[in-house]
A = this chain, B = another copy of it.
Amino acid sequence: MNFEYHNPTDVIFGAGSLPRLGEVVSRYGKKALIVTGGGSVKKTSIFDRAVASLKESGIDYAECDGVEPNPRITSVARGAKIAHDENCDVIVALGGGSTMDASKVMAAAFYYDGDPWDMIFHGQPKPFFPTKALPIVTVPTLAATGSEMNPNGVITNEATKEKSFTGAACMYPKVAIVDPELTLTVPKNQTAFGVCDIITHVTEAYFNGVDGTPIQDRFAEGVILTVMEYGKRAIADGSDLEARAHMQWGSILALNGWVNCGTNGGYPVHMIEHTVSAFHDITHAAGLAIINPSWMRFAAKQHTSKFVQFAERIFGLKSKGPNDLDCALAGVDKFEAFLKEIGCPTHFSELDIDDKLFAKYAQETLRIINDGNGNLPARPPMSEADIISVLQAAL
């Protein structure tokens, strides 16, 4: 367990935090580029309230709207151009994970004359690592991606059917203003996808990390148990502010490093899903809900004890010992049943995706990231055949 951890983001958490936006942004600039997604922040009053807070602090603004659910590199380039043309000196990401991810890459693209796609790791020999970015303030309106307090972004190249990630220290948001009230209008299905997204972030590090991280394990289980409980409540009653708050704190913790520091795990389910959704433009968490249980059954055969621990501590099952594969798999069944219960798809057929391109997805995934031996970094490392078998089992 050797690691280095540093997270400079200041998180302001709590219902009613949105009005602090203007004062916070004024620490970093005079004119904000407000980045938004498909328009839900305009249908609600969130956009207007954000603008009012900025104006009150004397902050001017320009807009980059219409960032896609799988945010595209063309939107990144567009946003960086608006920031230039409008002389913006700070970015406000007002939306879900895609808005926040695109904002981070825009912030770095602002200072980069080349093609912003150079920053996204897609198998190129020399990715561009940004060292300078506009200051970013995130204002999440969805509890899901955990993007609000980390320096990473996932971007799609529609032209080449690639979807991959980037991350650099300069892309840490300066401040995350996390106001659970902003998530009260998230519809049931998006809430459920958020639950799946959060839990999958946690399970990736939990199952793919090194052995001997007992506190991290407990933290991961704590996030999973809490998000399962309060996520169900938020799905049942969207106006349940307490449930929304705990989901949102869980969403941040799943990817801000507190749960996974020192685990050094791979993110195989994410990597495979990125390829699938680059081809099909499906909701990220829908892809995760389909691939994760299938991946778990694959991995549990080789790394049984961790899956037994999961089954026992998350679902209260009793094992016959750390190598009890039946117990491990029963835990996965319970997890898949939970995903179904909250309304997530768990098979590709539910999204009308067939197996014609499974080999292609596997090859593309491995082209974008592999361990040098042709395998996907994971525990256990996954060959092309392994990836195909996991996809096939999720058909």
Contact = CB atoms under 8 A, between A and B. Distances in A.
B14 A249 contact: no
A249 B261 CA distance: 11
Contacts of A357: none
A215 B2 contact: no
A8 B2 CA distance: 19
Interface stretch (A75-83, A136-144, A216-224, A317-325): A216-224
12 contacts: A2-B17, A6-B11, A7-B7, A8-B8, A214-B230, A215-B222, A215-B223, A215-B249, A218-B219, A218-B222, A218-B225, A258-B258
A312 B221 CA distance: 17
A249 B259 CA distance: 12
Interface string A80-92: 0000000000000
Contacts of A242: 212
A159 interface: no
Interface of A: 1-17, 212, 214-215, 217-219, 221-223, 225-226, 229-230, 242, 245-246, 249-250, 253, 258, 261-262
A222 to B, nearest CB: 3
A5 B1 contact: no
- Quick one: copies of this chain in the complex? 2
Given A215-B246, A219-B218, A10 B1 contact: no
Contacts of A229: 214
A242 B1 CA distance: 9
Nearest to A10: B6
Q: Which of A222, A223, A262 has the most CB of B within 10 A?
A: A222
Contacts of A212: 242
A271 B43 CA distance: 51
A294 to B, nearest CB: 28
A8 to B, nearest CB: 6
Nearest to A220: B222
Nearest to A230: B214
A137 to B, nearest CB: 14
Contacts of A14: 1-3, 262
A11 B1 contact: no
B3 A13 contact: yes
A242 B2 CA distance: 11
Nearest to A7: B7
Contact of A1 (B12, B222, B223, B245): B245
B13 A249 contact: no
B15 A10 contact: no
Contacts of A262: 13-14, 249
A7 B258 CA distance: 12
Contacts of A2: 13-17
B15 A4 contact: no
